[in-house]
Amino acid sequence: MSHTAHIRSHRKPRRSAPNIAMRAGVAGGVLSTLAVAGASASSASAAEPVTQTLELPTLTADLAAQVAQSADATQQAAANYQLQAERDAAAAKAAKQAKADLAEAKKKAEAARKAAAEQAASRSTERTTLAARTSSSSTSTATGSAAAVIAFARAQIGDAYVLGAAGPNSWDCSSLLQAAFKQAGVSLPRVSQDQSTVGTPVSLSNLQPGDILYWGSAGSAYHVALYVGDGKFVGAENPSTGIVEKPLSWSPPTGAVRVL
């Protein structure tokens, strides 16, 4: 074999210079970037203060519901306080008005009491005067036809009063007088309005036994009775008393007429 023959070499082929240069440049750039970043981080760490972050509790659904419920309760309590204040104000106003009304009612009641007392005193005086006049000026003993009329009327004392009745055991005021005067032969009208206008009007201070007494106005009287002397009369008064004999002061009449 010739010594010039080609023998395969075991050495690696040499890299080209441009490739080596490019790889070296890349590596250098990476290292430079890392160095700059590290330096920047160090500078930032040294310059800025450390801030501590606090984590707040998370607002859960239950906690939110409790907060809402508490707010509603506070609002309701405020509404209740306002309502109570309004009620207290209304109650105070009502109490003040009630006090004023009570004072006014007491004032009116006192005035009415005084008026009633004055009226009662006046009526008592009137009754006393009337009784004195009739006792001093009237004939006490009935004679003739008047005696018969009075006797019949007194015989019915104790009978019942019934409106519209005409005896023999129950009467009203005008039927009693009609039946009594019939004993003397005198025919009277049936009702009290007409009986108050028969005969001759006489003064209550000049009464005689047998005179007809009436209450109300002549011609529109609502009640009649018979004067029996000594300041007394017999009449059918009402369902409670029936036929009774009473003094004139018990119920003073308005006027009188004489038919005997």
Would 223 be classed as within a structural domain? yes
Residue 188 covered by a domain:
yes
Residue 209 reports pLDDT greater than 90: yes
For 174-183, the pLDDT digits (tens) are 999 999 999 9
- CB within 8 A of 198, min separation 6: which ones? 188, 189, 212, 257, 259
Asked if the structure places residue 180 within a domain, the reply is yes
Task: Find the CATH number of the domain harbouring 222.
Answer: 3.90.1720.10
Looking up tokens 């009774």 gives: 244
Structural domain that includes position 229: 145-258
What is the structure's pLDDT at 63?
74
Residue 233 lies in a domain: yes
More confident residue, 57 or 213: 213
> Does residue 242 form part of some domain?
yes
220-233 confidence digits (pLDDT tens): 999 999 999 999 99
pLDDT at position 43 over 50 = no
Distance between CA atoms of residues 252 and 214, nearest Å: 9
Specify the pLDDT at position 41: 46
* Of 240, 173, 185, 250, residue with least CA distance to 212: 173
pLDDT confidence of residue 111: 83
> CA distances (Å), 173 to each of 45, 78, 103, 115, 222, in order?
131, 76, 47, 32, 9
> In this structure, is residue 106 part of a structural domain?
no
Q: What is the pLDDT of residues 51-102, one digit of tens each?
A: 555 555 555 667 777 777 888 888 888 888 888 888 888 888 888 888 888 8
pLDDT of the residue at 203: 95
pTM exceeds 0.75 for this model = no
Judge whether 105 lies within some domain: no
pLDDT band at 131 (very low <50, low <70, confident <90, very high): low
Interatomic CA distance for residues 182 and 175, integer angstroms = 11
**Is the predicted pLDDT of residue 138 greater than 50, yes or no?**
no
Residue 161 in domain: yes
Number of domains in the chain: 1
Instruction: Please determine, for residue 40, whether its predicted confidence score (pLDDT) is greater than 90.
Output: no
Q: Is 60 exceeded by the pLDDT of residue 216?
A: yes
More confident residue, 125 or 220: 220
Q: How confident is the model at residue 34 (pLDDT cuts 50, 70, 90)?
A: very low
**Average model confidence (pLDDT) across the chain:** 78
pLDDT band at 48 (very low <50, low <70, confident <90, very high): low
Question: What is the amino acid identity at position 17?
Answer: A
